[in-house]
Chain A
Amino acid sequence: MSEDLSHDPHLRAALRHAPDHALVPPSRLSATILSAARQAHRPARSAAAAAPVRMRAAGSRPLLVWLRRLASPRWASAMATGLVAALGFGLWLDLGIEPVVERPRVVVANTATPAAQSSADAASALTPSGDAVTTAGRVAAPSTERATDTSPPAPTAEGPPTAKAAALPPAVPADPRAAGRRGEPSAGAPGRRDKSNPLTAPARQDAVAPRAAAAPAVAQAPSSRVAEETTPASRLNDTGAVSAARSARKAEQSDAASEAAPAASPALTLLRRARAETATGSARWTWTAPGSTTMAPVDDAAQAWLLGVVQSARGRWADVTDRGDSLDATEVRWWRDGWPHATLRIEAEGLRWLEPSGRIRYAPLEAATLQRLRSF
């Protein structure tokens, strides 16, 4: 064996200090294996009982049994009947009720400016998914009330934004690009659709289109009335909203597949994933907050901070090749199950998102916004 192939002490040292070095199998898994080993030595009857332990783990035998059952004519006909009934009910929901309930809401909904309307609709539409972003880029909370609360105020001339909305980070409503994203045709980019936000763009269009088409001329009602009539209860009870939610979910699913688009928001993707996996406990997410060097769990505060990033940089991400190794950048890092997942550099003029795969994205931001993001 050549010298080159002897054990490299540095690589061995790195291996022994790797984050997964203390990893052990889940106790339930150990229990299953040890139980199978114990049962292997029992008499034939017990040994036969041991078999399901393995089969259950592999998931093959129960599946076969169920498949055989489903193949019988009785089960097959029952399944077919159920499917037809479900399909019929779904069609009835889609076609039968929506126009009836939708009409009075058109008047209410259009009392807000188109931008606010689309925001509110998108918020209500996305609420059932429990992990979505409103038109203004805010992530809807799992509860419907929260989702409605966080929907952005109508940017009308009649009144200032609500205190709650003002407390949230600015979502660049004055940006002409934002108008384009809301579906408002702008001179510079007619009919432009923002693909940077995989959640909101299609949901907004799908959910708002029928309402906007139904009553295009109604506008400029007092914003207080808008707030009063677009309560969470009215939204939830509205079958139209349910239908819109369905459309939004479909759009979300279709857009989830295209999240790898060049300008997709990496922060949003990470936030959604971290939330989902933290909620189910399927992965452990940790991070180092800006200005900190210690790892901490991605808790609610961390998610709120990341949400601020999502909102601030919405629609601004672009793929770049420059690593931007500026020394004064503040770095934030995320780990999934102890594995490096992403690095965010808060630089002087923008945010730089780096992934272990080598992909780099950059979002130019105002100095004030960057300063705000530096504090946690």
Chain B
Amino acid sequence: MNNEALPLAVHADDDDLALMSAFAAGDAQAFEWLYQRHHAALYRFVRRLLGRDGAAQADEVFQDTWLRVVNARERYVPKGASFRTWLFTLAHHRAVDVLRRSGREVALPEDDAGEPFVPEGTAWSLWPRPEEAIDELVFWRRAGAKLLECLEQLPVAQKTAFLLHHEDGITLDELARALDIGFETAKSRLRYSLAKLRVCMGAYLDAAALQPARITDRVP
């Protein structure tokens, strides 16, 4: 899917809400713009949420999420959350259904402080060898791969909190409202996810902290 696939650019400047309204009023092209804006991020979110083991169901969850949007076009009411947050929440619920069905979703006590988190795998995995000279881009790519490895080890609830907060930039308030949980619960999930990821990332974050700001400045 690319921009060339869109026949007219009449909706290019519309916000998501306007597009959804136009779609509800019968403008199919508005939906294509919505899809164009969010499809890649949503697909990535679903893949990450389902993890390696659930990758086979990612297409099903992704498709079902969009079809729910189609079917709910006339009933859609923002309710204080953005369209994107609503969309990602739909995907989250659908992904949890799939995980529950496959027996891979484990109920998580909100207070996750019972046992210390011990990451699986080795802290040095993908870490460059001493003689291996790599540039910053390669370093961050490896850090990205390592982060995906670490995300696999998080419960779905914590993974969702982290991804929505860090990748999609929604606030804790929005997170709590979208997932229909209390603010403290949302905060707690995010805190545990960050703590675990920092442990799991280990040397990568230490090294990143030692790097000058230019590394993170380069992030688009």
A residues in contact (CB < 8 Å) with B: 1-2, 4-5, 7-21, 23-27, 29-30, 32-34, 36-38, 40-41, 54, 57-58, 293, 323, 325, 327, 331, 333, 335-340, 343, 354-358
Min CB–CB distance A224 → chain B (angstroms): 51
| CB atoms of A33 and B35 under 8 A apart | yes
Closest to B119 in A: A358
* A18:B144 contact, CB within 8 angstroms: yes
Separation in Å of the A277 CB from the closest CB of chain B? 11
Q: 21 A-B residue contacts at CB 8 Å? A: A7-B165, A7-B166, A10-B143, A11-B205, A14-B147, A15-B144, A17-B140, A17-B143, A18-B141, A20-B44, A24-B1, A25-B43, A25-B59, A29-B59, A40-B28, A40-B73, A41-B28, A333-B126, A336-B52, A339-B145, A340-B126
Give the distance in Å from the alpha carbon of A24 to the alpha carbon of B58 in the complex: 11
Once the chains are docked, how many angstroms separate the CA of A29 from the CA of B40? 12
Query: Do B132 and A36 have beta carbons less than 8 Å apart?
Result: no
CB pair A4–B197 under 8 Å, yes or no, is no
B84 to chain A, nearest CB (A): 16
B79 within 8 A of A: no
Interface residues in chain B, defined as those with a beta carbon under 8 Å from any beta carbon in chain A: 1, 23, 26, 28, 31-32, 35, 39-40, 43-44, 47-48, 52, 55, 59-60, 62-64, 66-67, 70-71, 73, 120-122, 124-126, 129-130, 132, 137, 140-141, 143-149, 152, 162, 165-167, 169, 172, 187, 190-191, 194, 197-198, 201, 204-205, 208-209, 215-216, 219-220
CB distance from A15 to the nearest CB of B (A): 6
Task: From B48, B208, B215, give the contact of A20 (CB < 8 A).
Answer: B48
Cα A15 to Cα B1 in complex, Å, equals 23
Bound-state CA distance A371–B140 (Å) is 32
The answer to whether A356 touches B43, judged by C-beta atoms less than 8 angstroms apart, is no
Q: How far is the CA of A34 from the CA of B23 in the complex (A)?
A: 12
Q: Are A331 and B1 in contact (CB under 8 A)?
A: no
Given known A-B contacts A5-B172, A24-B39, A32-B63, A16 and B194 have beta carbons under 8 A apart: no
**A10 contacts B208, CB within 8 Å?**
yes
In the complex, residue of chain A having the shortest beta-carbon distance to the beta carbon of B187: A5
CB of B60 within 8 A of CB of A57, answer: yes
How many angstroms between the C-alpha atoms of A355 and B140 in the bound complex? Answer: 21
Contacts A13-B143, A20-B148, A37-B32 given; indicate if A57 touches B1 (C-beta within 8 A): no
The answer to whether B129 and A327 touch across the interface, beta carbons within 8 angstroms, is yes
Residues of B within 8 A of A354 (CB): 122, 125
- The smallest C-beta distance from B171 to any residue of chain A, in angstroms, reads 8
A356 CB contacts on chain B under 8 angstroms: 120-121, 125, 149, 152
Query: A358, B39: Cβ atoms under 8 Å?
Result: no
Chain B residues near A11 (CB, 8 Å)?
A: 147, 162, 166, 194, 197-198, 201, 205
**A23 & B43 in contact (Cβ 8 Å cutoff):** yes
* Nearest-neighbor residue (CB-CB) of B25 within chain A: A41
Inside 8 A of A10's CB, which chain B residues have their CB?
143, 201, 204-205, 208-209, 216
- Closest residue of A by beta carbon distance from B204: A14
A19 touches B144 (CB 8 A): yes
* Minimum distance in angstroms from A305 CB to a CB of chain B: 20
Q: How far is the CB of A151 from chain B (nearest CB, A)?
A: 36
Min C-beta distance of B95 to chain A, whole Å: 15
Point out the residue from A14, A38, A323 that lies within 8 Å of B28, measured CB to CB.
A38
Verify A14–B125 contact, CB threshold 8 A. no
C-alpha spacing A323/B127, complex, angstroms: 14
Contact across chains for A21 and B144 when beta carbons are under 8 A apart? yes
Q: Do B44 and A23 touch across chains, with their CB atoms under 8 A apart? A: yes
Which chain B residues border A58 with CB–CB below 8 Å?
A: 60, 64
Shortest distance in angstroms between B37's beta carbon and chain A's nearest beta carbon? 13
Least distance between B138 CB and chain A CB atoms (Å): 9
Determine the distance from Cα of A36 to Cα of B73 in the docked complex, in whole angstroms. 13
Instruction: Report the separation of the CA atoms of residues A102 and B28 in the bound assembly, to the nearest whole angstrom.
Output: 68
Of chain A, the residue at the smallest CB distance from B211 is A10
Determine if A24 and B43 form an interchain contact, defined as CB atoms under 8 angstroms apart.
yes
State whether B125 touches A18 (Cβ < 8 A): no
Q: In the complex, what residues of B have CB within 8 A of residue A323's CB? A: 122
Across-interface contacts of B59 in A (CB, < 8 A): 25-26, 29
Known pairs A14-B143, A25-B59 / 20 extra A-B pairs, C-beta < 8 Å: A10-B205, A11-B194, A13-B216, A15-B144, A16-B220, A17-B137, A19-B145, A24-B40, A33-B35, A34-B35, A37-B32, A40-B73, A41-B28, A57-B67, A327-B129, A339-B145, A343-B125, A355-B121, A356-B120, A357-B120
Q: How far is the CA of A323 from the CA of B1 in the complex (A)?
A: 45
